[in-house]
Each structure stands twice: as structure tokens, then as C-alpha cells.
Structure 1
Amino acid sequence: MSVYNTRLWLFLEDYVYYQPRQPRVRAKDRPLQVIAVGPVRSATESLQHALIQLGYEHTYHGWDLLFEERHNMRGWAKLARRKFLGTANSGGDCDITAADFDELMGDAVAVCDIPASVFAAEMIRAYPDAKVIINTNPDLDRWHASAEKNVVAVNRSWFIYLMSWTMKDWFWAWTSCERFLLPGLFRCVGQSLDLGVMGNGKWIYREHCAMVRGLVQEEGRLLEWTAEDGWEPLCTFLQKPIPDEPFPRVNNAVGFQGRIEKLTKRWLMEGLRNLAIGIAILVVVLTVIWKM
């Protein structure tokens, strides 16, 4: 049994770090139109900016999962739990519907990065009218180095790991991304993300793209694209006019690390305060025990 299915862990999720659901509702006139399934560090943020410029004004990205004001990090973690930690009673399958995704993404008309890559198969099935983009990094060695420098580096941070126990938001940020979503994509739930990305990342990347090609058989529904391709194939595929401005280039290593620093600063003071309170309580308890 996975540690994440033990009674102690479920007690932590459902009681100690409990956060109420904040479900969204998708308007009937705002269907999901684009699913960009490329793994992290595959020009996902550049593609998000491009889609917004093309009129997909609410393009949901992995950063939204962490930064949106009424976040649903716990909801994404629960969805990943359903997919990757099925029990003996789950029937050996994972049934995630458009309604499940709509509760988390609301009126988003496009989705990319972590949510779309982790749940690529489920989203492709749940939204049969949405177009699918496999956004890739054509140089897997370069992608691998970037993933280690950015994605894996966060998972290796003992400071962030320690602070993830000090408050609910930080706990769910770590649990959703570092325990379930990214390990799920890289087939290492319950193990080190180092193993998933550094040990197996390249072949998992290739198999992920191959899986999507196999799932999308309808003519005109699938585009394979890289940031180097720029506007033309993307606009042709989506039947949009080509913008006059250059294709957006964002989310280099400095930008990624800046986002992580922003999150850390956002929660640092509350986390340190809670840590200090916890240490003070522990000192009092140990003092009382010692005096007995």
C-alpha cells in the first residue's frame, strides 16, 4: 500500500490540512477549445501567452494552479490521487469527466502545462471537440537539463519541503505538484522525482507524445509544434490570423526561479510563524515532561 493511502496520511489531508472545495462552473457558451499536452519545460508559458494573444483569453497553466486567488490545489491533488492511486475497489480504471475538470478550471477555454500533460488522456476523452497540441522541445538533452535545473531543483529543496508542513497552502502546493501531479506524469508517485525525471524522463517524454498521437485519430484535430515553429503553423491549425508582433518568448530559467521565489515569499512569514509556534509548544511539552 502506498503511504499516501494510509489512514495517517488521509487524516493529514482530510483534517489537519483540510481546505474546503472551491468549485467553479463552466458557462455553456465557453467550451474548452484547446488542450496543449506538452510536458513541463516545453515552451508551455510561451504557448500560453500566444494562445491569449490569439483570443483564448483564459488559458489555464500550471502556474494558475498555484497562483490563482481562489486556488484549487487540493482539488487537483485529489484528481491525481484518483488517477494514480486507485484502490482495489476502483475497478482498475480512472473515470475523470469534463465536469470534474470544469470544477477546477472554470471558464478556461484552453489549458496547458502540468494539468494538460498529467491528464492528457482524460482531457482528450472528456472534451472531444477540443483541438490538441503536442508542444515539444525538439532537443531532449536540452529539455532534460532544463528540467533538472528547474523542476527537479524545487523537489530537492529541503527548505521548501520543511516549510510545506507549516501551513495549508504550502502543504497543498507541495502535495499537488511534488507528490502527485509531476510524479504521476513521470511515473514515480511515492518515489523520488529525481528517479522519474533524471532516471527515466527522456523515454517517458517520448512515450507521452506517442500516447497522444495514438489517442487523437480525427483529421485536423492534432498539431505537433515547437516554439521554434512560431506563429504560422499554430495560427493555421487554430484558423486564426497571424499577429503582427513577434512570437512571445517567456519562462526561461530566470523566470521559472523567479516564480518559485515569489511563492516562497508569499507564504514565508506565515510559515515561519507557524513553525515558531510549533517549536514553542514542543518546548513547553518537553519541559513539563522533564519536570514530572
Structure 2
Amino acid sequence: MAHLNTWWYRFLEDHVYALPEPPPRVRTKPLEVICVGLPRSATESLQHALLTIGYDHTYHGWDIIYEEPNYAPQWVKLCRKKWFGPLDGNTKFTQEDFDAVMGHSTAVTDAAGSVFAAELIEAYPNAKIVLNYRKDLDAWHRSASQTLANVKHNWMLWIISFLSRHGFWAWHVYLDFMWSGIFRGLDNDIETGVARNGKWVYKEHCNMIRGLVPKERLLEWTVEDGWEPLCEFLGKQVPNEPFPHANTAVGWHNHEDKLTRMYMVEALQTVVVLSVFVLGAGALVQKFIL
């Protein structure tokens, strides 16, 4: 990941693909639940469940790239602080750091909750911690390989990431930083990061959480457990409806297709502007030089 800390990437972030900086969010209600399980561990199902029992808003990884105004650049800054902090090693995260991007949320799951698990646990000492995990590690690994790691083969999305500012930040925050970072993709390759390191990262991540959080503050939970243990832990009434199941592999690819369509409009606008510029420059060269 070292090349991400060079002037070139900072130039791209600060100038070429810069987005208007959104106002920092201000926390108006406490962050009560932090779900720290890695992606593809029922994170979106858990989001829907928490919304159902009253945790509105529950922040999910899709929020990072869907919401407007877009806070993906601020998440990249947090990633830089985590992985490219001061050389004395004294990097300190505060509630204000996280409130600025998700101060409207009372719960968090998926990428933000797992990538910054240790920092969130320390910053919000009164929040309850849910370690959402999958019992079948091989099944999780297959799922992560078919979704997270497979994004790099979406050539259309990759091309669009050069032509669309929002497309750039979606690719940058996840493929370059969050996923490559948490899966120790030292070659900045999420595919090999998940393939080589996914299983041991998963086990070490779960063990880290168990070591950080007192038992009375922690719930280890799988989607098969359903409502009862989750609601008992959070002190909520069990809803009279089936537990939600969201973001299957098909659902994931539907998200990819939706994002591709969203960013395509901006990419085509860029192509038009560049074409006009090139044609105009060519006409000037032909008129005054040739």
C-alpha cells in the first residue's frame, strides 16, 4: 500500500477528483451499537434488522458510496490516519473523528464497523458490540472471493473510475484502502489479499474483538441465530416478522450494476468535455501552427 501515500495519489484526491467537502456531521443521539464483523458476514441483513428494531440510522458500507453529499473522501482520510499515521505510532482516534462522517447514526455495521473496529470500540466505550460472524469459514471465503475480490474484474467500473469523480472515490475508498487494508493486500490487490489472507485475517479479527471487549458488552452472533439473542442483548422486543436476509451474491452484483449506471452518466459527461477540448485544441493547432 506504500504507493498510496505518495504525492501522486494526494494530487488525484485533492485536485483531479476532488469533491465539494461536505459539512462535518454532528452527533445528536448516541452511537449505541457497533457491529464489527467483516464484510460478507450478514452485514446488510443486520443493518435491516437494526433499523427494524429502532436503530435509525444504521450505517452500512453502501452508505459510504451512495449517500449525498458524499463522505468517501473523509473515509479515505480516516484510512490514511490509520495506516499512514505519524512515525511515532501515536495515532489517536476520537469520537469527533467518526461523528464527522456518521454522527447521524445510532448503529454501524459492515466496512466502517470492521475496518475501524478497535478504534470505534475505544472511542465509544458505552456502545454495545456485536461480533457478527459466519460459522463456515470456507463458505465466507467463497462469498468474499465472488464479491469483494471479484470487483477488480469489473472492467467497466474500473474504466469509469478514471472518468467519474464519484466512481473514482468508490473504487479508491474500497479497492485501494478499506478492503486492501483490512485483508493485508500489501500488493494493493484485493483479490490476492482475500485469497491468501482472508481466512487468517477473519480468525485474527474475531480473536482481536474477543480480547478487546468485556464479555458483558459483547454478543457473538450469526444470522442463523435470528432475532432472539440480538434483541435480548440490546433490550429490544422481538419483531413479529422473519429475520431479514439481504445482499446475497445476486444482490451484491445488482449493487455493482446500479453503481455502474450511476457513474456512467458522469463518465459520459467527462468524455464529452474531453472530446470538445481535444477537437478545439486540434483546430487551433491546425489553424495557427500547421
**TM category, shorter:** over 0.9
Counterpart residue number, 1:18? 18
Counterpart residue number, 2:117? 120
The residue type equivalent to 2:81 in the other structure is: R
Inter-partner Cα distance in structure 2 for 1:252 and 1:190: 28
**1:187/1:274 CA distance change after superposition, 3 Å:** same
Inter-partner Cα distance in structure 2 for 1:140 and 1:73: 30
The residue type equivalent to 2:84 in the other structure is: L
The residue type equivalent to 2:17 in the other structure is: Y
Inter-partner Cα distance in structure 2 for 1:108 and 1:216: 21
Deviates more, 1:110-119 or 1:149-158: 149-158
The residue type equivalent to 2:142 in the other structure is: A
CA drift at 1:282? 4.8
Asked if the contact 1:180/1:189 (under 8 Å) is kept, the reply is no
Inter-partner Cα distance in structure 2 for 1:112 and 1:15: 31
Asked if the contact 1:35/1:132 (under 8 Å) is kept, the reply is yes
Asked if the contact 2:32/2:107 (under 8 Å) is kept, the reply is yes
CA drift at 1:129? 0.3
Q: Map of 1:1-292 to 2, 5 A cutoff?
A: 2-22=2-22, 23-27=24-28, 30-86=29-85, 89-188=86-185, 190-217=187-214, 219-278=215-274, 281-282=277-278, 288=285
Unpaired segments of 5 or more residues in structure 2? Answer: none
Inter-partner Cα distance in structure 2 for 1:157 and 1:258: 13
Unpaired segments of 5 or more residues in structure 1? Answer: none
Asked if the contact 2:35/2:113 (under 8 Å) is kept, the reply is yes
Asked if the contact 1:3/1:190 (under 8 Å) is kept, the reply is no
What is the TM-score when the length of structure 2 is the normalising length? 0.93
| 2:188 counterpart SS class | coil
CA drift at 1:20? 3.0
Inter-partner Cα distance in structure 1 for 2:198 and 2:279: 44
Q: Count how many residue pairs are aligned between Structure 1 and Structure 2.
A: 286
Asked if the contact 2:156/2:260 (under 8 Å) is kept, the reply is no
Structure 1, residues 180-210: CA drift from partner, whole Å, max 9, x if none? 0111111115521112101110110010111
The residue type equivalent to 2:88 in the other structure is: G
- Identity among equivalent pairs (%): 48
Query: RMSD value over aligned CA atoms?
Result: 1.9
